[in-house]
Amino acid sequence: MSWDWQVFCKNTSDGAVEAACWAKGADITYFEWMIHAWGWTLAVAACAWVIAMVVGFSVGVARTLPASPVLTRLANAWVELFRNIPILVQLFLWYFVVPKAFPFFQHVPGFLLVIFALGFFTSARIAEQVRAGIQALSRGQRYAGMAVGFTTAQTYRYVLLPMAFRIIIPPLTSESMNLLKNSSVAFAVSIAELTWFAMQAQEETSRGIEIYIGVTVMYALSAFAVNRVFAFIEKRMRIPGFIVAGTGAGGH
């Protein structure tokens, strides 16, 4: 087995090696194509992350509300629904089954469907972490909020959530990295992201091992970048003497 790393510098129409790995005119090289695919991966992951955080925090909070049993049950149902079905199956439900039942969805682009599928799937997992974070706080925290005359919303906003958020940063980091890696399922519904690129380019070039190594590096770098960003946030948000006491290096 010999290596042929020049495969990344070949253009995609006739396979000629381009100078500086950058093709002229309408042509692109496999390297440019990979960068483009990487952009799709990041776009899918970033949009899905926003949905996952917004929905995850809302549902997680709803599960801990003291006087709203209906809302709590609905939120519990949400979590159990979206975390018990494999992500690939959920994606297919959104892409093929939902449009059959509701013709309106036929005109929704695949990109939107995939970020909602990924976002909802991840939101169920984040909701569980948010619930755990809030319930990990001592009961006195909630009572303190009530004692100073806060409404429920104010208690969450000023007392419970800032503390719970700090507690769950480590699992939230893992979940965000997972989301980035899970975005690879988007290839199954026609999104031209990294995994799709790997499968396609290896067929065209017959240099599968080099292509897969390139894609692996892109995934590893991206997920590690997410990890570093969260480590930074965790460090900046730390309250001295609280939660992760005394290690000085954060939870990572």
Partner 1 sequence: MKKQLIAIAALALAAGAQAQSGDTLAKVKATGLITMGVRDSSGALSYTLGDGKYAGYHVEICERIIANVEKSVGRKLQIRYQPVTSQNRIPLVANGTVDIECGSTTNNAARQKDVDFVHTTYVEEVRIATKANSGINGIKDLTNKTVATTTGTTSVQLLRKHERANNVDFKEVFGKDHADSFLLLESGRADAFVMDGQILAGNIANAKNPAEYKIVGEPISVEPIAIMVRKNDTAFKKIANDTVDGLAKSGDIGKLYDKWFVNPIPPKNARLNLPASTATKAAWASPNDKPVEEYLKK
Selected from 19, 20, 106, 247, the binder of partner 1 by CB under 8 A is 106
Does residue 208 bind partner 1 (CB under 8 A)?
yes
208 or 250: CB nearest partner 1: 208
Annotate 31-54 with b (16+ C-beta within 10 A) or e (fewer): bbbbeebbebbbbbbebbbebbbe
- Taking residues 137 to 176 in sequence order and writing x for each that binds partner 1 by CB under 8 A, - otherwise, the string is ----------------------------------------
Token code pair at residue 89: 């199956």
Residue 22's CB: how many other CB atoms inside 10 A?
13
135 or 216: CB nearest partner 1: 216
Q: Three-state SS string across 142-157, please?
A: HHHHHHCCCCHHHHHH
Site for partner 1 in 1-20 (CB under 8 A): 1, 12-13, 15
25 phi, psi to nearest 5 deg: 70, -140
* Structure letter (DSSP) for residue 159: I
Token code pair at residue 13: 């129409």
Selected from 181, 205, 243, 244, the binder of partner 1 by CB under 8 A is 205
6 or 154: CB nearest partner 1: 6
Residues that bind partner 1 (CB under 8 A): 1, 12-13, 15, 26, 96, 99-100, 106, 110, 187-188, 190, 192, 196, 199-200, 202-206, 208
